[in-house]
Amino acid sequence: MPQLVAELFAVAFVTFAVGTLTDQWLMAASLPVLWAIWRFLRLKDGPPVLAFAFTFHWGQVVIGLFYYAATGREPLGMQATLYGEMVGIGLVCVLTFIAGILIGDYLVGRKMKPQPMRETSLAWGTLLVAYVAILAFRTSLRDFAWSNPQLAQGILAITYIRFALFYLILRRLVRSERYAAAAGFAILEVALGMTGFFAEFREPLFIAAVVLAEQFDYRRVRHWASFAVVAVAAMFAGVLWIGIRGTVRENFDDRAHFTMTEKLSYTSNLTETWWSGNAQDKLISLDSFVDRMWDVYYPALALARVPGVLPHTNGEMMMVALQHVFTPRILVPRSGTRFRDTSITAFRASSSRCSSMPFSWARRTGSSSA
């Protein structure tokens, strides 16, 4: 308890200092929320997955505020009149999640005693063979999934087992301090993620951060350096993707027959072209990256229109969204339209459609705000 009180005083002091020095009190108010995430959601044993997940959610709520304070460049979200109210709602939602998890953990802990965990392990050979097999056949599995829509959810889930295997491989390499090999696996996954229609490079970077956080020792310079490298790589990859994704998605179906080497070469050429461009283009990509991350603009517009312009739906939209997420397609084969990922190129953003982002992203933004 004394340590908790001391931490509360320290957080309050930092919050007051940041608010006073920057005059950004909404940004300062987000710092106690970040502290609460890592204070209460980091488990004693195991990787801090929950803490990282809520840190990402917190970042989606406040990244625009920090970006504006650091650069003076106004993100898109600030054009919405009620962006401040939306940020406040987002922070309260994060705190509500934290409180709910703590209460639930307390109630369950009263009825169930902690069960000892049995350590299991896979041999290196088994782990690598399974990882390479899923990696080699992921394209074929996805093609089979989209040709069988009723089984698509289950088949696509199999392809993501690769990330679980990637986590186990990376964790073993980092624990044995074989950082070069770990970096090689991470670079491979990030490079492959850059060749797809969607930003599939995010998952390996997130997993790398989780693995490093699990083994992190603040007294070791190497751990700080590793974390800094992953953070810079994540930022660079995100900005780069924003800069090249439009070209990557153009005529995506025409490159479906490309080998993986050809896809990597194509993405590499786009990266070189983007990097050799002028600084203004890179700043525009950085602005777009922040706009893409800051999930505030559209929810703030909705907040201004409901119920003044549009009435409440009394939970109808939320129920439809939950049904869509939790209902297997094989049970309800006609529950909504399903698109193959590459077919979304037909809805690509363009000025003629008065849209600045693909409808797939807009739908996801709407789902997040819901």
Question: What pLDDT, on the 0 to 100 scale, is given for residue 110?
Answer: 84
Question: What pLDDT, on the 0 to 100 scale, is given for residue 217?
Answer: 82
Domain ranges for the chain, please list them. 2-111, 124-291, 312-369
SS3 sequence, 133-180? HHHHHHHHHHHHHHHCHHHHHHHHHHHCHHHHHHHHHHHHHHHCCCHH
Task: Give me 204's structure tokens.
Answer: 């390996």
Question: What pLDDT, on the 0 to 100 scale, is given for residue 40?
Answer: 92
How far apart (Å, rounded) are the C-alpha atoms in residues 101 and 3? 22
Q: Which of 261, 207, 264 is nearest to 234 (CA)?
A: 207
Kind and range of the H or E element at 73? none
pTM of the entire predicted model = 0.77
Judge whether residue 58 has pLDDT over 50.
Answer: yes
Q: Which of 87, 94, 93 is nearest to 68 (CA)?
A: 87
Question: What pLDDT, on the 0 to 100 scale, is given for residue 49?
Answer: 87
Encode pLDDT of 235-285 as tens digits.
999 999 999 998 888 888 888 788 888 989 999 999 999 999 899 989 999
How far apart (Å, rounded) are the C-alpha atoms in residues 54 and 58? 6
